[in-house]
Amino acid sequence: MKPETMIQFDQHFLIDESLAKKCADLLCGTKDDLIIEIGPGKGSLTTHVSDLQLILVERDPELIFNLTKNFPNAQILNENILEVIDTVPCTKILGSLPYAIVEPLFRKLIFVSFSLGVFIVPKKFAEHILSESTSLGFTLNHFLEIKENGIIPAESFSPMPKVTSVILVVTKKQLQKTDPFLIFYSKHHQKCKNALRESLVYLKKMTKTQAREQIQNCPNAMLEKNVKQLTKEELMTCLLLLN
């Protein structure tokens, strides 16, 4: 594989077989599961779940031939996972994640229907989301149960990254469809004022005029932000209005 290709796709292949097996064991896959593997690369994780129903989502076209040859029973998609995760059905998700997609992928997991995921991510990212003092950590921990399950040193990859990684086990929480945070955050691409107004209309059966009056005393700087740009304190202010 060309070095420039590996840089383009942010590739660091797991080469420690014992850690690959550990990740597969943590997934607890069964014959009834439909498993998405994100970025299977050369198949180090795939090998340990190859007897299960697999959808392998690999962006690098140079890796598709060998994946097809080595895992003939798997469905293989040459796609960017961020563009298909919303539409591909699954019960469990596995992946040694390219570092560049970790945060946007975890934000998307809020809206993906799955029961369990096992991911290899940078240690600093894990620390960031395991702390509910951050906006992202506060948000993700409302929707997901996230647990660290071991450190992976840089030497376990080829080429070797500059950072230490960890294994995260992620369980999707079963929330009511009327959960205020879920309703509000489903509008995360909107400005806060629009997301709040629409959420109040839906949750509290207010008219649009009543909803506008409800939020008129909120700080304008907060209302003009995109929802996913809000601080933890601003998110809490919004949730107080919705509960």
For residue 8, pLDDT over 60 is answered with: no
What is the rounded (10 degree) CA torsion for 70, 102, 189, 88? 20
**pLDDT at site 128:** 95
pLDDT attached to residue 3: 46
- 15 conformational bin, left if phi > 0, alpha if psi -120 to 50, beta if neither: alpha
Q: Is the pLDDT of residue 11 over 90?
A: no
Place of tokens 């990740």: 23
- 153 Cβ contact partners less than 8 Å away, ≥ 6 residues apart: 164, 165
CA distance 185 to 180: 8
Q: Please report the pLDDT score of residue 10 as a whole number.
A: 65
Tokens at residue 211, please?
């909803």
- The CATH superfamily label for domain 3-172 reads Vaccinia Virus protein VP39 (3.40.50.150)
pLDDT tens, 104-159?
999 999 999 999 999 999 999 999 999 999 999 999 999 999 999 999 999 999 99
Report the distance separating Cα 35 and Cα 28, nearest Å: 11
The pLDDT of residue 98 is 86
Give start-end residues of each CATH 3.40.50.150 domain in the chain.
3-172
Angle (deg, nearest 10), helices 123-130 and 102-109: 40
Cis peptide before 72 (omega within 30 of 0): no
Q: Give the DSSP letter string of 67-91.
A: HHHH-TTSEEE-S-HHHHTTTS--S
Q: Which amino acid is at 144?
A: L
Q: In this predicted model, what pLDDT tens digit does every residue of 35-86 receive, in sequence order? A: 999 999 999 999 999 999 999 999 999 999 999 999 999 999 999 999 999 9
Mean pLDDT of the chain: 94
